[in-house]
């Protein structure tokens, strides 16, 4: 056996022994506890007092005794309402009613026993917990009226996470999870967040985030009991990644039937139009949206057959969210009818690439326009908007989206010592994507479907008064399918482009026609894809209470899979046009302000062409964890939490060994166990020493497993006075499972497994014509023996990113129902993944110097000549970051009818990180890896300096039982009583953006995956000095000082640092007004009016759904402008019946 195999066996054996020894995992993530502190009337600790904690909903009990300082921690307890009974010999029995247990929090109950006899009972009522006397993490629990009654867009629980200190939404114009309320916490990427549902993994492993969310299953808000967001210094029970933990628990049944029925309704008739629609004369989107469903829970009761009171409980729910729109406007920028025929009068001057002389009247002669381009151009519709910003055309496309959810949960109490539960959840979504050119041969329309399923089973066993074991099993599956709307139509053949097979009806439609360095909308490009991912997991927690210590020992195992069947980038072909052919050249350098990408298209002069085959990757990884956590009650005032977690997450492998990784430093191509053939071009690269093959590397493509990820956790909480708590915490966390770089591209989309060929023009000389154009079509060998195979790179050894987090908090209770927290919060990110481009030609002052001579990995043609190689992307470990913040939080529970959370964060986040493998909307990616160490460090993409958010629900004091109108008759009370209002107010500063340029000053041909070239900064000019005003002529918002930037010097990529332009802030108020009709008991009917952006405030943003905002690109016609806003007021009506 190899040394590696021996080590793996040793570690695996050790893991199995430890798992058997401690029965561990992190199943108790979905529980809380009660700290009982018992004293006599003199204040002395009451030792060996008997304590019984009873769940009032199910009557399940937990028994214990206080230690020699009079304390006992009752845990694990399911969140809910409890009764605490404390008794001791020679003392009266004290019963504390309505003790609330919250998720991942220990509620403190101080009990004073008076001398008397056990049969004498003293009954008191507990207050809702305000002081967190045991937990050292930073976080927020969302439950009760805040969860149920706050206005929440799409009823998405994730959108309530931003009520937490240190949490802010991601940049609004680019990240793929924006629509689902994606957020970053304390300066750490949203793709490092960890979603937990009923104690099991609920993360999506879709590396491309196709579903628009990073969690697998989205339970209905009515099915959620509560959830908690923990962002800093959380316990050793949690690991996986270094971002926030979003811990959700679903509702269960009880001895009393309870549930809800509801419908939320939106129609465009009640909404206002957004700023840019109104300015351009576009009507608001016509649509209707319904959210309706029901839930029911209670004991399983079969008349005359079975009575499940105190034993068997159920909870079921379903929800539908149909969205229908006969015409949703899609905006874009397209050529005018004159430009489509070759007439560019009024545009930048264009030149004949054969002569370097201007075209007469800036018009391309008809005999020079390519016939294929002419056919495609003939399908371009006429602009129907006045040119404004980056849009001159809109198309109303029908949208029919569906989102259906159903869940079933069963809880069974076999005895006082054994409880089990099981839950099944299913969600189906149908999300067609209709684009700008729907209904024409230019269309790129696709249909999308997503199916998510989850199963959880749990067993809690009480061994004795001091030992409890909790086992958990989970299975999660998320399947995403994308299909082109015209996949069976060979549109390429119709227009004259040859060499593009239909690939089983998955690659029909027009080839992708892309206009580089331009805000023109591209044509075609429909694609197919399937991403199937999920987990199998085993979990179990062993809790041991002994003396002053509550010890948790655990471990966890996860089998993770993410299978991707996709076409990489160009299944139906791709042609990119960048305008360099029709530019004017002086001494071999293109003059700024000349040339046009669409003119290049009409002449059939692509700077790059490529085509790829459909390919399937079956990626796998395994995850093992062990942890130990000790909550040491040193005194009744001081608690110390100490823990240690060990994580071993294997690097990713492909189940069939289909994959290869290039080390860009050593030039070694790691391709484990491969004995097949290579494309001729790859063999030629090997023969010339450009790359070296290693077929004996480990199955992780040369990435070395890391068995040393030990994360200590340490914190304390001190009760200074009965109303003041001082606490502090520190934790070290690892983040190996960042989403992104196992999507596209990734090891499976690399030679020789991915058959993809790229044809790059060898230099920027306009006299040099690409070997593949629309007229030539793709050669027959492109998908069998590609001449420029695709490579994927990782800078090895790839280390595990890690995050240090710390906080210091003072918490003060204000009266009986309010509390104020003041916190210092910090984090440090080390070795974070960042995506790099490894094959960009080095800068040159002479654009005629062949790219191949300036690339580390040029390709080789059939004659042995070096030719330009295609882009090579992949991660490195160079990312670093620091975050420091002041957090202030105010909470109020039912104070004069007011329940509120108000959180203010003043922070600064500095890093050099852009999301690995996933596009971001801040433009911040560097061109060259060496820039990571120079120009990249700056304001983070997630840096929001000031953020204040307040969520509240207020029961108006009118009507019976209220301060005013207590003696109203029934008719008057029905009219004036039962009113409730609520809202979420958000005020925040803007995110940061990087300015780029459209000019190829470096003469590198933009041979990269998603790189940018930046301009030079102009000394003495401040980009953030205005003008920040609306232009009354074209409705654009002139935002920053464009004079602060100038085209980069010839032969450079610019000296501008990352993220130097501050974007617009955000001001928003979502409001609700409810009338509650009491129907007796706990039954009530709610009529609710909700208004999102109630004040109809215009909130501008850089661009809409764009990762490259054109207003931040020097050379674009709208440079310096904001071209989108977040929309106007949306009104929603609702009716809810609860019981």
Is the distance from CB of 958 to CB of 979 less than 8 angstroms? Answer: yes
H or E stretch covering 414: strand 393-415
Provide the 3-class DSSP secondary structure of residue 1081.
coil
pLDDT of residue 1107: 64
DSSP helix/strand/coil, 783: helix
Of the candidates 523, 715, 504, which has an alpha carbon nearest to the alpha carbon of residue 629? 715
Tell me the Ramachandran region of residue 471: left when phi exceeds 0, alpha when psi lies from -120 to 50, beta otherwise: beta
DSSP three-state, residue 806: strand
Report cis status (omega within 30 of 0) of the bond before 64.
no
| Confidence (pLDDT) at 918 | 67
d(CA 252, CA 423): 10
DSSP annotation of 768 reads P
Angle at 759 between CA 564 and CA 508, to 5 degrees: 50
Once rounded to an integer, what is the mean pLDDT over residues 556-569?
87
What CA–CA distance (Å, rounded) separates 319 from 291?
7
What are the pLDDT digits (tens) for 644-691? 999 999 999 999 999 999 999 999 999 999 999 999 999 999 999 999
**3 state SS of 340:** helix
Distance between CA atoms of residues 402 and 563, nearest Å: 25
pLDDT of 90-120, one tens digit each? 888 999 999 999 988 899 999 998 888 767 6
Report the largest interatomic distance among the alpha carbons of the chain, rounded to a whole angstrom: 109
**Half-sphere exposure at residue 1069, Cβ-oriented, CA atoms within 13 angstroms:** 10
- Return the pLDDT at 4: 43
Closest CA to 437 of 490, 379, 482: 379
Q: Average pLDDT of the chain?
A: 90
Alpha carbon separation from 551 to 467, 468, 640 (Å, rounded): 10, 11, 12
CA 1128 remoteness from chain centre: 24
Q: How far is 852 from 864, CA to CA, in rounded Å?
A: 13
Rg of the chain, C-alpha, whole Å: 31
Phi, psi of 161 (to 5 degrees): -60, -25
- pLDDT tens-place string over residues 228-240: 999 999 999 998 8
List the beta bridge partners of residue 925. Answer: none
Give the tens place of pLDDT for each residue, 812-860: 999 888 999 999 999 999 999 988 899 999 999 998 899 999 999 999 9
C-alpha dihedral (1000, 1001, 1002, 1004), degrees to nearest 10: 20
CB 609 within 8 Å of CB 759: yes
Residue 423's beta-bridge partner residues?
409, 456
* pLDDT (average), residues 989-1002: 91
3-state helix, strand, coil in the chain (%, to 5): 10, 45, 45
What number is the average pLDDT over the span 984-1004? 93
CA dist 519 and 1121 (Å) reads 13
Nearest to 663 by CA among 696, 706, 694: 694
What is the rounded CA–CA span in Å between residue 747 and residue 617?
A: 9
CA-CA distance, 272 to 269, in Å (whole number)?
A: 8
CB 574 within 8 A of CB 790: no
| pLDDT > 90 in the chain, percent | 69
pLDDT at residue 914 greater than cutoff 80: no
The mean pLDDT value for 300-322 works out to: 95
Q: In degrees to the nearest 10, what's the CA dihedral of 785, 790, 796, 798?
A: -130
Asked if residue 76 has a cis previous peptide bond (ω within 30° of 0), the answer is: yes
pLDDT at 306: 93
- Reported as a pLDDT band with limits 50, 70 and 90, residue 6 is very low
Of 252, 265, 261, which is closest to residue 295 (Cα–Cα)?
A: 261
Does residue 558 contact residue 535 with C-beta atoms inside 8 Å? yes
**SS3 call for 970:** helix
Convert the pLDDT of each residue in 385-428 to its tens digit.
Answer: 876 556 889 888 888 999 999 999 999 999 989 999 999 999 99
Asked if residue 11 has pLDDT above 50, the reply is no
State the Cα angle at 700 between 698 and 704, rounded to 5°: 75
Helices marked H in 130-236: 144-149
What is the average per-residue pLDDT within 718-739? 94
The larger pLDDT score, comparing residue 964 to residue 777, is at 777
Strands 467-484, 724-734: pairing kind: unpaired
- What is the pLDDT averaged over residues 477-500? 91
**0.85 exceeded by pTM:** yes
pLDDT higher than threshold 80 for residue 508: yes
Instruction: Check residue 396 and give its pLDDT.
Output: 85
Look at residues 186, 193, 207, 198 and name the one whose alpha carbon lies nearest to residue 239.
193
Mean pLDDT of 313-326: 96
Peptide bond connecting 206 to the previous residue in cis, omega within 30 degrees of 0? no
Instruction: Check residue 26 and give its pLDDT.
Output: 36
> What's the first-to-final CA gap in the chain, in angstroms?
64
- For residues 900 and 952, is the Cβ–Cβ distance under 8 A? yes
Is the bond preceding residue 587 a cis peptide, omega within 30 degrees?
Answer: no
pLDDT-wise least confident of 72-81, 172-181, 648-657, 894-903: 172-181
- CB count in 10 Å sphere of residue 842: 15
Whole-angstrom distance, CA of residue 644 vs CA of residue 623: 17
SS3 1089: strand
Q: Is the pLDDT of residue 1080 over 90?
A: no
With cut-offs at 50, 70 and 90, classify the pLDDT of residue 711. very high
Query: How far apart are the C-alpha atoms of 860 and 870, rounded to whole Å?
Result: 11
3-state secondary structure of 158: helix
Lowest-pLDDT choice from 756-760, 915-919, 1072-1076: 915-919
Kind and range of the H or E run holding 687: helix 680-687
At residue 921, the pLDDT reads 56
| 154-180 tens-digit pLDDT | 999 999 999 999 999 887 666 788 888
Task: Quickly state the pLDDT bin for 698 (edges 50, 70, 90).
Answer: very high
- Residue 599's H or E segment, with its range, is helix 597-602
Name the pLDDT band for 376 (thresholds 50, 70, 90).
very high
> Would you list the DSSP string of 471-493?
EEEEEEEEEEEEEETTTT--HHH
Among 601, 249, 269, smallest CA distance to 425 is for 249
Task: Give the three-class secondary structure for 618.
Answer: strand
In angstroms, the CA 71 to CA 45 distance is 8
- Of 20 and 57, the one with more pLDDT: 57
Closest CA to 39 of 464, 637, 544: 637
* Residue-by-residue DSSP string for 13-68: HHHHHHHHHH---SGGGG-EEEEEEEEETTS-B-TT-EEEEEETTT--EEEEE--T
Chosen CATH of 31-125 out of 2.40.110.10, 2.60.40.1120, 3.30.2230.10, 3.40.50.11740:
2.60.40.1120
How far is residue 113's CA from residue 117's CA, in Å, rounded to a whole number?
Answer: 11
Residues 25, 238 contacting (CB under 8 angstroms): no
Confidence of residue 14 (pLDDT cuts 50, 70, 90): very low
Residues contacting residue 184 through CB under 8 Å, at least 6 positions apart: 167, 168, 170, 190, 243, 942
What does the pLDDT average to over 785-808?
93
Burial 54-83 (b: 16+ CB within 10 A, else e): bbbbbebebbbbbbebbbbbbbbbbbbebb
């Amino acid at each position: 056996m190899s040394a590696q195999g021996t080590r793996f066996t040793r570690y695996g054996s050790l893991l199995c022994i430890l798992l058997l020894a401690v029965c561990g995992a992190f199943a108790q993530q979905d529980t809380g506890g009660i700290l009982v502190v018992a004293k006599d009337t003199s204040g002395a600790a009451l030792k060996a007092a008997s304590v019984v904690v009873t769940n009032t909903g199910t009557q399940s009990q937990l028994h214990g005794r206080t230690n020699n300082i009079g304390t006992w921690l009752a845990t694990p307890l399911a969140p809910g309402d409890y009764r605490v009974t404390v008794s001791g010999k020679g003392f009266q029995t004290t019963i504390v009613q309505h003790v609330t247990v919250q998720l991942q929090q220990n509620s403190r109950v101080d009990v004073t026993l008076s001398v008397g006899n056990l049969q004498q009972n003293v009954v008191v009522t507990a207050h809702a917990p305000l002081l967190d006397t045991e937990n050292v993490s930073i976080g927020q629990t969302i439950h009760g009226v805040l969860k149920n009654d706050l206005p929440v867009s799409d009823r998405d629980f994730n959108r309530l996470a931003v009520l937490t200190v240190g949490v802010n939404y991601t940049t609004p114009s680019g990240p793929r999870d924006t629509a689902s309320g994606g957020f970053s916490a304390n300066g750490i990427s949203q793709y490092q967040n960890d979603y937990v549902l009923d104690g099991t993994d609920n993360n999506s492993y879709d590396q491309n985030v196709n579903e628009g969310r990073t969690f697998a299953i989205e339970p209905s808000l009515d099915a959620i009991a509560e959830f908690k967001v923990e962002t800093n210094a959380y316990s050793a029970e949690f690991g996986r990644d270094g971002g926030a933990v979003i811990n959700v628990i679903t509702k269960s049944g009880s001895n009393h039937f309870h549930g809800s029925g509801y419908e939320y309704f939106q129609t465009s008739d009640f909404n206002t139009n957004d700023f840019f629609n109104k300015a351009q004369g576009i009507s608001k989107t016509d649509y209707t949206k319904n959210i309706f469903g029901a839930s029911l829970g209670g004991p399983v009761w079969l008349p005359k057959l079975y009575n499940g009171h105190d034993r068997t409980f159920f909870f079921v729910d379903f929800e539908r969210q149909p969205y229908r729109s006969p015409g949703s406007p899609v905006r874009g920028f397209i050529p005018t009818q004159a430009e489509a025929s070759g007439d560019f009068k009024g545009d930048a001057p264009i030149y004949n690439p054969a002569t370097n002389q201007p075209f007469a009247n800036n018009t391309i002669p008809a005999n020079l326009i390519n016939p294929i381009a002419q056919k495609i151009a003939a399908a371009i519709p006429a602009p129907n908007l006045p040119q404004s910003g980056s849009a001159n055309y809109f198309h109303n496309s029908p949208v029919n989206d569906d989102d259906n959810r159903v869940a079933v949960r069963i809880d069974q109490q076999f005895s006082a010592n054994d409880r089990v539960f099981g839950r099944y959840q299913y969600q189906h979504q149908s999300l067609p994507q209709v684009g700008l050119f729907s209904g024409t041969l230019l269309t790129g329309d696709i249909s999308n479907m997503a199916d998510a399923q989850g199963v959880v089973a749990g067993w809690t066993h009480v061994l004795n008064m001091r030992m409890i074991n909790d086992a958990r099993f989970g299975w999660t599956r998320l399947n995403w399918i994308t299909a082109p709307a015209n996949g069976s139509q060979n549109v390429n053949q119709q227009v004259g482009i040859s060499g593009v097979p239909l690939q089983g009806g998955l690659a029909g439609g027009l080839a992708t026609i892309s206009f580089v360095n331009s805000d023109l909308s591209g044509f075609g490009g429909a694609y197919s894809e399937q991403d199937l991912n999920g987990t199998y997991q085993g979990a179990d927690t062993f809790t041991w209470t002994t003396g002053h210590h509550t010890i948790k020992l655990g471990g966890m195992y996860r089998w993770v899979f993410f299978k991707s069947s996709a076409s990489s980038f160009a299944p139906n072909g791709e042609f990119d046009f960048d305008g360099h052919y029709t530019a004017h050249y002086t001494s071999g350098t293109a003059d700024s302000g000349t040339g046009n990408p669409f003119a290049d298209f009409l002449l059939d002069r692509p700077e790059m062409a490529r085509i790829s085959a459909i390919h399937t990757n079956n990626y796998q990884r395994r995850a093992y964890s062990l942890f130990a956590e000790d909550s040491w009650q040193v005194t009744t005032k001081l608690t110390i939490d100490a823990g240690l977690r060990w994580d071993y997450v294997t690097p990713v492998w492909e189940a069939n060994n289909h994959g290869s990784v290039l080390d860009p430093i050593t030039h070694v191509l790691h391709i484990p166990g491969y004995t097949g053939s290579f494309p001729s071009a790859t063999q030629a690269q090997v023969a010339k020493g450009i790359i070296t093959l290693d077929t004996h590397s480990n199955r992780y493509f040369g990435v070395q497993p890391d068995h040393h990820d030990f994360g200590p956790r340490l914190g304390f909480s001190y009760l200074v006075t009965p109303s003041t708590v001082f606490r502090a915490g520190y934790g070290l966390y690892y983040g190996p499972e960042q989403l992104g770089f196992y999507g596209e591209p990734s090891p499976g989309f690399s030679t020789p497994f991915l058959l993809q060929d790229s044809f790059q023009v060898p230099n920027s000389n306009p006299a040099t014509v690409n070997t593949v154009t629309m007229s030539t079509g793709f050669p027959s060998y492109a998908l069998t023996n590609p001449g420029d195979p695709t490579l994927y790179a990782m800078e090895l050894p790839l280390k595990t990113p890690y995050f240090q987090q710390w906080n210091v908090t003072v918490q003060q209770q204000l009266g009986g129902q309010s509390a104020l927290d003041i916190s210092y919060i910090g984090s440090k990110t080390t070795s974070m993944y960042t995506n790099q481009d490894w094959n960009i030609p080095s800068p040159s002052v002479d654009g005629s110097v062949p790219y191949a001579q300036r690339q580390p990995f040029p390709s080789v043609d059939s004659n042995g000549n070096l030719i330009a190689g295609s882009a090579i992307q992949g991660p490195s470990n160079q990312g670093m970051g620091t975050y420091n913040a002041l957090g202030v939080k105010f909470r109020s529970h039912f104070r004069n009818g007011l329940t509120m959370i108000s959180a203010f964060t003043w922070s600064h986040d500095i890093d050099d990180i852009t999301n690995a493998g996933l596009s971001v909307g801040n433009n911040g990616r560097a061109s060259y890896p060496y820039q990571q160490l120079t120009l990249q460090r700056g304001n983070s993409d997630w840096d929001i300096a000031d953020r204040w958010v307040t969520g509240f629900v207020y029961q108006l004091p009118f009507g019976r039982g209220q301060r005013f109108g207590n003696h109203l008759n029934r008719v008057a009370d029905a009219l004036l009583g039962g009113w409730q209002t609520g809202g979420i107010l958000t005020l925040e500063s803007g995110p940061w953006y990087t300015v780029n340029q459209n000019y190829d000053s470096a003469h590198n041909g933009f041979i990269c995956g998603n790189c940018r070239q930046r301009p030079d900064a102009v000394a003495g000019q401040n980009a953030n000095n205005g003008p920040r005003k609306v232009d009354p002529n074209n409705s654009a918002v002139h935002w920053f000082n464009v004079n602060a930037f100038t085209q980069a010097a010839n032969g450079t990529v610019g000296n501008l640092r990352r993220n130097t332009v501050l974007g617009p802030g955000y001001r928003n108020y979502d409001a609700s007004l409810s009338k509650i009709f009491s129907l007796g008991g706990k039954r009530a009917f709610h009529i609710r009016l909700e208004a999102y952006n109630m004040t109809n405030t215009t909130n501008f943003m850089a661009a809409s759904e764009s990762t490259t905002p054109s207003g931040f690109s020097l050379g674009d016609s709208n440079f310096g402008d904001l071209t989108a806003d977040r929309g106007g007021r949306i009104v929603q009506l609702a009716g809810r019946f609860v019981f």
